[in-house]
Structure 1
């Protein structure tokens, strides 16, 4: 019997892709309220490298107060982008991010679909639907590079262990934007010495390039500007989903979380790297990398909501590395995605330091990214504890009743 095109499973999948893309095209404009502001600052930095590198951290756009805040190597990478006409530059930024998004999903789902073929239609449909996730749509609308860096790190860290130069992409990513340095910690605690050496050498090379291009500017950046969080924006703003942002909103101290923040960061790094090491040793490598990404997000003085693209591999990790996710994959996946699509962090009053007057319920919603991902990390840790407990019990039973 001929059921037409809908009778072919392959064609049904492509019809699903078409339906998802239509739905996303209808819904996405409701969350698309930016004009590539960050990309404009990137282009400003690239233009400064080409004209006067000494002005990299002082030049401003007339209509955007934000300065360039990345290392000099970041400006070098952006130099070619500054030569493109704005429409072409913004279009290229979106296209590159879309490719990176597909790569992130492909690498993340590789473990979930282990031994099974992931149909291209399924990959495209999931990638398209994820455009509605708030960190993803914000990255695209701002012209940010978060998706590209996430894809590079996943490709490098999760790649074949014997691949030549493994770790170098991580070092380059850290040279563009410092937050990937946290993944050096994962290589360290899992004793991946060759990859760590490659990453360190690549990062040192990016630093050296900065000193070769503009020695005084590089010295100023690494000794002074690197710790100047005032250049990044209002720390109390609800878009700052980090421990520092939470403590500022909680205490009302606009200068930062102070010693309490430093203590929380120390505990988070220690606990996070322990969990990452445990997950890596259990074979849950995607989860290990995702938790390491969380360490950087939690501990950075500023982690804007668009930095949180790591919720994609973390969400997949919940399905592969926790009993809850393995038992109820669809509800967990839909709930996780929906929460980051709805983005509760934007529900309470914001801007003008209104965040300092939040009540308990508003604070719960306004810091939602922290609580959701902290709960995910605890679930991953709990699953490891259960596994170790089961192994100890099995060993005791074997010792008590040897065959």
Structure 2
């Protein structure tokens, strides 16, 4: 019966996913642009454009992308897509223990989640980084635990938020490894291209105009919410900074609370949520953390409530109501109250998750490999 269900889910996903896949791996093309520019003229890394799109990542990310720039496009696409899919499998395996049939079903079904299918469609790196960070934080068996967080942050800055988790849970050795790993990525960038690295770390790192329209519906962050609400394209200003401060303080407190309680997965997921909410730009495909966060929510519920919450949570990120109101060309600035409610659905779901996890009394036993190896005061 379980295998029959799993096969049925795979068939449905195989039929529906191509209908929703509307992209041409444009971000992978930009990644390759970074790698090829580094080989041709490293100093021009942040001047190169692909159909108007610039390379917006740290110099170390371009170094990582060099192998994908050297191989033919079909090979790069195949390796990248397979790597993304294997990362999705790893995220599920590290988040929850399931039988083989159920694991196959949830993996196939999660391909329809909007953040996942957007990551696949754009050729984004989000699932790879998510899997890497989960492994680094949850598995204490490797000697340099924390190192991969630093390397992930060197590729894409958002993983820096997990240094906050290491601080509030007093995992000093892992923090040292993460900091050293990040420092090495920064140094590598300066060694390969001093000009590009100086340009990035002195000016481009804070330039959100290179990333895209901040008001766009796909930007699910506090900053975007305030922009759409007020109509001020300059950003949320002082209100946004205050909201960020409250979110960081409250989010890291909850992350520590969940970690100490034994729910390490929830602690990591809430920390990721802090990064998503507080970043000036959090595109919908950055929200792949809804998988471990959703698993954490289900663990905190019981009986029929668990079924309702599971359907509501994963259903929301499948139908993706953020795309229902008018979007593109700053039409988001004219949203009605109903449009605001739908268009900021990911933010509302995040608040729901925080409340549920904060009030839950469910205590989760920490995995042996982490519980016996991490110092948490």
Deviation at 1:326, TM superposition (A): 5.9
Give me the whole-angstrom Cα distance separating, in 2, the residues matched to 1:30 and 1:244: 31
- The corresponding residue for 1:328 is 305
Secondary structure at 1:237 match in 2: coil
Deviation at 1:329, TM superposition (A): 2.1
Counterpart mapping for 1:310-349 below 5 A: 310-320=289-299, 322=300, 324-325=301-302, 328-349=305-326
CA RMSD, 1 decimal: 1.3
Counterpart mapping for 1:310-389 below 5 A: 310-320=289-299, 322=300, 324-325=301-302, 328-383=305-360
- The corresponding residue for 1:65 is 52
Give me the whole-angstrom Cα distance separating, in 1, the residues matched to 2:17 and 2:57: 29
**Which TM-score applies when normalising by structure 1?**
0.88
Q: Deviations over 1:119-162 (max 9, x none)?
A: 222212111110000000000000000000000000110112x5
Q: Does 1:81 align with 2:68?
A: yes
- The corresponding residue for 1:221 is 200
User: Which of 1, 5, 29 pairs up with 1:16?
Assistant: 5
In structure 2, the gaps of 5 or more residues are 364-377
Give me the whole-angstrom Cα distance separating, in 2, the residues matched to 1:326 and 1:202: 43
- The corresponding residue for 1:107 is 94
Deviation at 1:327, TM superposition (A): 5.6
Deviation at 1:331, TM superposition (A): 2.2
**Which TM-score applies when normalising by structure 2?**
0.94
Give me the whole-angstrom Cα distance separating, in 2, the residues matched to 1:326 and 1:138: 32
Give me the whole-angstrom Cα distance separating, in 1, the residues matched to 2:158 and 2:219: 15
Q: Count the aligned residue pairs.
A: 363
Q: Deviations over 1:263-312 (max 9, x none)?
A: 11111000000000000010011000000000000000000000000000
Give me the whole-angstrom Cα distance separating, in 1, the residues matched to 2:89 and 2:29: 25
Give me the whole-angstrom Cα distance separating, in 1, the residues matched to 2:236 and 2:19: 34
Change (3 A) 1:269 1:22: same
- The corresponding residue for 1:93 is 80
Give me the whole-angstrom Cα distance separating, in 2, the residues matched to 1:124 and 1:169: 27
- The corresponding residue for 2:369 is none
Q: Does 1:123 align with 2:100?
A: no
| Farther-moved stretch of structure 1 (120-129 vs 134-143) | 120-129
Give me the whole-angstrom Cα distance separating, in 1, the residues matched to 2:130 and 2:302: 23
Give me the whole-angstrom Cα distance separating, in 2, the residues matched to 1:137 and 1:294: 19
Q: Deviations over 1:54-107 (max 9, x none)?
A: 11111012xx22100110000000110011211221222211110000000010
- On the 8 A contact 1:38/1:144 being kept in 2, the answer is yes
Deviation at 1:325, TM superposition (A): 4.8
- On the 8 A contact 1:319/1:326 being kept in 2, the answer is no
- On the 8 A contact 1:318/1:325 being kept in 2, the answer is no
- The corresponding residue for 2:25 is 36
Greater radius of gyration (CA): 1
Give me the whole-angstrom Cα distance separating, in 2, the residues matched to 1:259 and 1:326: 43
Secondary structure at 1:52 match in 2: helix
Secondary structure at 2:53 match in 1: coil
Counterpart mapping for 1:151-170 below 5 A: 151-160=131-140, 163-170=142-149
In structure 1, the gaps of 5 or more residues are 1-11, 111-117, 388-403
